[in-house]
Structure 1
């Protein structure tokens, strides 16, 4: 399959017939979700000084999970400086939300991309994740927002949801609430990516693939990374991979 990054970097296209339907179903299935309810109250906008717009999820009082390619300068495919990245929570048509600066970030080992940005076939696909540490001068995010990461791989056929601040509704959080995990793909080096059926377009990159447990709590099953052109769904970095590699990057 020809894969492309789910277009977060660069200016947002205007809504209309010309909007790229990357990973978007032929029939509209996405719907507006409430910023007051779990898990969507934990989802926000990741914005960069070069015009990039992606999605991120709160995973700690000062930490946000997103995709590594969301932090690229699209012209050079080099990582931006942390001060060029911000996280906005509570963005809506009626509110500019609360903006937090980024003090630092870590990202998947070996992650690189090509200008555009486009995937680098020599890079490990499951390295497309990043954890942002928010500016310590700003107040901590409210208690109870942090979403836990799944500790194990999610079974194919599991119901999930994927939402984000997408290119056709840039100030509205919209989500596909009725999609599933389809299985896993493995590259030549054995690295796994999680395939899902969720409908989304540009701006959904970095958004959490969300799973509701039997007790009603939500967990992050994966991080939205790539989409398949011409059909609904895409690929996510498994949350279990993020847990493993982030712990190693931070020395445990």
Structure 2
């Protein structure tokens, strides 16, 4: 069983803020997902046309229905209103074991993974996709780049967090995240290069300590890629004519944000 937690799903840190360079930096494949004019999450390229994020970002918190992918835009490397590239989402698949309406549990958290297919690939000159890796052991150092409600256009690079434990497939980390960080990639460094080992599913309080909870990847990511390759997923098979979606900052987020509190002892 997971320890008693107060969980927060994060839709809508703080060492150096990222900046644009003439050459693509590793972190510029992290981007903001603007969702149907209602809010945003964080996502990361794992192929030139595939974005990894949290499954709960794909659901409307008011209706519980899955959001039409073509109303979502991915803005790679967004800094101060300027993105390295902007693409509309074409299709989306979520982990088949993820149930949006389920009560908070280890199963819901570890399977909170979605893969989005973009309308057009993003060139390597703009943003280079990340590789993935096995989850790191307890105590291993981690990095996170995440947009948040107070850093909507300037995601910080957090380098000073670590793996606390792994329980029932959920990665418990000392990383600090906030609303908007859902789907943010959790990195370990391999040979000086960042590799995604998990994505942020929720933040929580555990024994008075703020923690970030991460999903499993591995086999789920393989299955999601296979599903897209087989033509499955929610969305359209017709490419949109333009990539022009933006976030309406005046609209309150209705995309999957939720607060969970366990019953008192």
Pick from 60, 72, 89 the counterpart of residue 76 of structure 2: 89
Deviations 1:38-65 (A, max 9, x none): 4311100011114121100111010010
1:98 matched to which residue of 2? 85
Deviations 1:203-241 (A, max 9, x none): 11100001111x212100101101104632211013324
1:2 matched to which residue of 2? 5
CA–CA distance in structure 1, aligned partners of residues 147 and 20 of structure 2: 12
Q: 1:237 to 1:119 in 2, by over 3 A?
A: same
- C-alpha displacement of 1:89: 1.4
2:128 matched to which residue of 1? 145
Unaligned 5+ runs, structure 2: 231-265
> Number of aligned pairs?
222
CA–CA distance in structure 2, aligned partners of residues 105 and 242 of structure 1: 14
- Find out whether 1:33 has 2:18 as its counterpart: yes
Please state whether the residue corresponding to 1:110 is helix, strand or coil. coil
Given that 1:126 and 1:241 are in contact with CA atoms closer than 8 Å, whether structure 2 keeps it comes out as no
- Find out whether 1:49 has 2:27 as its counterpart: no
Given that 2:115 and 2:225 are in contact with CA atoms closer than 8 Å, whether structure 1 keeps it comes out as no
- C-alpha displacement of 1:79: 1.1
Structure 2 length normalisation: TM-score?
Answer: 0.75
1:199 matched to which residue of 2? 176
Please state whether the residue corresponding to 1:78 is helix, strand or coil. coil
2:118 matched to which residue of 1? 134
Structure 1 length normalisation: TM-score?
Answer: 0.78
Given that 1:227 and 1:233 are in contact with CA atoms closer than 8 Å, whether structure 2 keeps it comes out as yes
Q: 1:109 to 1:44 in 2, by over 3 A?
A: same
Please state whether the residue corresponding to 2:92 is helix, strand or coil. strand
